[in-house]
A and B are shown apart, each in its own frame.
Chain A
Amino acid sequence: MKILRWLGGLVIIAIFLYYNFFIFEGPLLLKLINISLFCTLFVLIRVIFGPSPADRIVAVDILGILIIGMVALLGLYYDQNFFMDIALIWALLSFIAALTFAKILEGRQIDE
């Protein structure tokens, strides 16, 4: 059973990398953004099927940090300044959300 899960994951990653680098035609930056989106899909799997609440909180924190890098790459691709503003605000909001979730998980209230 464990071997089947290993093989399934490896096959999914191999199909994605083959499609991204040999079939998909586009600039290098778009291929890198595709890899970042694929990572986001994995993190979303952990958010949905996480066995404990702490797993979901960790995954949401990681998702925030991943999206900062992805938004910076999108700003580089479209050559617009305001994408970096979105990334900075996302960093601060993700930090506050992670701290608040940790406090609630520990059993305390927010204003304590």
Chain B
Amino acid sequence: MNNIQEIVGMIFIILGIAFDFFGVLGLIRLPDVYNRLQAATKCVTFGTAGILFGVFILKGFSVFGFKALLGVAFVFLTSPVAAHAISRAAHRSKIALTPETVIDQYQDDHELKED
């Protein structure tokens, strides 16, 4: 029982670290604010939630474990809200999109509303 618990917890933690690493690679590599936000926020949120859930499995039903579970809830609640606010503010302050952009429906909606 104890051995299985440790193995499953370490698997969750290693998966979370891998998600973090690839999300940060997207943050470095991609050409645009919106692309970077989209890659980094999803991957890093899921990776950190994976790490905290692995800590919960390793520690079991103790104070440490329940705090880790509370951390999963906090990360899942707060990170998408912050990402949405940042992307909305960036688009409204007219930060340029990458030249390869095909369609920008938010800008079209604004132009329709102003007319």
Contact = CB atoms under 8 A, between A and B. Distances in A.
User: Which residue of A52, A58, A59 has the most chain B CB atoms within 10 A of its CB atom?
Assistant: A58
Given A32-B13, A69-B51, A39 B20 contact: yes
Interface of B: 10, 13-14, 16-17, 20-21, 23-25, 27-28, 33, 36-37, 40-41, 44-45, 47-48, 51-52, 55, 58-59, 63-64, 67-68, 70-71, 74-75, 78-79, 81-83, 85-86, 88-90, 92-93, 95
A73 B13 CA distance: 9
A42 interface: yes
Given A32-B13, A95-B82, A54 B90 contact: yes
Contact of B85 (A52, A73, A81, A99): A99
Contact of B10 (A28, A39, A69): A28
A-B interface, 6 closest residue pairs, ranked by CB to CB distance from nearest:
A84-B67, A98-B82, A95-B78, A54-B90, A69-B51, A106-B89
A23 interface: no
Nearest to B82: A98
A54 B40 CA distance: 14
Contacts of A59: 27
Nearest to B70: A88
Interface residues of A, number: 45
Contacts, number: 141
B25 to A, nearest CB: 8
Question: What DSSP secondary structure best describes chain A's contact surface?
Answer: helix
A65 to B, nearest CB: 5
A78 B66 CA distance: 18
Interface of A: 9, 28, 32, 35-36, 38-39, 42-43, 45-46, 52-55, 57-59, 61-62, 65-66, 68-69, 72-73, 75-76, 81, 84-85, 87-88, 91-92, 94-95, 98-99, 101-103, 105-107
